[in-house]
């Protein structure tokens, strides 16, 4: 799933560390080149649950066409005289 970048206001002067924040993952890139990943487990779990619910709610499409059942009319009922 793609993450959306958000602007952060508290970036230190000089621009380091570079911070990219998404919906469930924040990536900090430091001046020496190493990166730090910070996961938001609750946001990730929420996205996964929503995706599962969406996938399960779609009804599968069947290619078989069932023949229509004709309704019985009152005329076709056999009546016996006493």
Spell out the residues 6+ positions from residue 21 whose beta carbon is closer than 8 angstroms to its own: 5, 6, 8, 27
Domain count, the chain: 1
Residue 17 domain-assigned (yes or no)? yes
Reported as a pLDDT band with limits 50, 70 and 90, residue 24 is: confident
Which pLDDT does position 9 carry in this prediction? Answer: 54
12 located within any domain:
yes
64 part of a folded domain = no
User: In which band, very low, low, confident or very high, does the pLDDT at 45 lie, cut at 50, 70 and 90?
Assistant: very high
pTM for the structure as a whole: 0.44
Q: Rounded CA gap, 45 and 51, in Å?
A: 10
> Is 75 within the bounds of a domain?
no
Parent domain of 21: 1-58
Helix (H) or strand (E) holding 38: strand 35-39
Confirm whether 32 is domain-assigned. Answer: yes
Q: For residues 41, 45, 47 and 52, what is the CA-based torsion angle, rounded to 10 degrees?
A: 160
Domain assignment present for residue 78? The answer is: no
Percent of the chain with pLDDT over 70: 57
């Amino acid at each position: 799933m793609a993450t959306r970048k958000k602007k952060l206001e508290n970036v230190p002067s000089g621009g380091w560390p570079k911070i990219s924040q998404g919906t469930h993952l924040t990536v900090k890139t430091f001046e020496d080149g190493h990166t730090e990943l910070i996961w938001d487990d609750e946001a990730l779990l929420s996205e996964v649950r929503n995706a599962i619910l969406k996938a399960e709610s779609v009804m599968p499409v069947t290619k078989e066409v069932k023949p229509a059942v004709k309704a019985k009319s009152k005329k076709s009922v056999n009546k016996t005289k006493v």
